[in-house]
């Protein structure tokens, strides 16, 4: 008994399909890139959608509907991949792994860090200090800080950025993040 390979039932017009891909490929690739963060994933997504389009080529009666068909294939394929990845990311089994215990921070070290940071904030120019205190100590938004100080939001953004750069450069602080 000999095994036979399945024969494809697609009877698409290869030259017409090739012409379509050559003409519309760049536009369709841009569409695929808008759906994925990685350009390589976008190329894979487009390849899969074009494969589906090729298999349905003879059933698409209106040539003006081709772009819509490919876009729908892109969207459906992307959604299927997203769902599959999302399901794959869930932990399997009845028990979840225990999180690693966090190292206990010495309260004296924490207080020393706060004191050093406050001393550095006090060395900032008055305007920058006011903005940093409002933004990070009082937890006001950029818009709220601008309203309190009577300046534009852009002024708050640039002054806080400069202040954080000065704080980062302060040798006694080490690394300081935006979330200060």
Q: Looking at residue 138, what is its pLDDT?
A: 84
Domains defined along the chain, listed by start: 14-88 (1.10.1740.10), 107-169 (1.10.10.10)
If you average pLDDT over residues 33-49, what whole number do you get?
Answer: 87
Q: Looking at residue 98, what is its pLDDT?
A: 75
pTM comes to: 0.42
Residue 84 half-sphere exposure toward CB, CA atoms < 13 A: 6
Q: Looking at residue 178, what is its pLDDT?
A: 44
CA distances, 4 to each of 1, 7 (Å): 10, 9
If you average pLDDT over residues 41-59, what whole number do you get?
Answer: 89
pLDDT in tens, 131-163: 998 898 888 899 999 998 899 999 999 999 999
The CB density around residue 50, as the number of other CB atoms within 10 Å, is: 20
Q: Looking at residue 9, what is its pLDDT?
A: 46
Q: Looking at residue 143, what is its pLDDT?
A: 93
CB-CB contact of 173 with 110 (8 Å): no
Q: Looking at residue 22, what is its pLDDT?
A: 92
173 exposure class (CB count in 10 Å sphere: 0-12, 13-18, 19+): middle
Question: Could you give the CA distance from residue 27 to residue 103 in angstroms, rounded to a whole number?
Answer: 52
**Average per-residue pLDDT in the chain?**
80
Q: Which residues contact 13 (CB under 8 A, 6 or more apart)?
A: 57, 58
């Amino acid at each position: 008994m000999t095994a036979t390979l399945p024969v494809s039932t697609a009877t698409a017009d290869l030259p017409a399909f090739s012409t379509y891909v050559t003409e519309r490929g760049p536009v369709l690739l841009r569409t695929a890139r808008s759906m994925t963060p990685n350009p390589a994933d976008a190329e894979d997504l487009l390849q899969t959608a074009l494969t589906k389009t090729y298999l349905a080529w003879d059933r698409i009666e209106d040539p003006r509907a081709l772009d819509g068909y490919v876009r729908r294939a892109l969207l459906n394929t992307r959604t299927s991949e997203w769902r599959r990845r999302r399901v794959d990311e869930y932990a399997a089994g009845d028990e979840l792994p225990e999180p690693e215990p966090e190292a206990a921070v010495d309260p004296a070290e924490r207080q020393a860090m706060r004191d050093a940071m406050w001393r550095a904030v006090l060395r900032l120019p008055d305007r920058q200090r006011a903005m940093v205190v409002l933004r990070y100590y009082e937890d006001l938004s950029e818009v709220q800080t601008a309203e309190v100080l009577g300046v534009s939001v852009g002024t708050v953004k640039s002054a806080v950025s400069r202040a954080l750069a000065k704080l980062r450069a302060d040798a006694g602080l080490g690394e300081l993040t935006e979330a200060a």
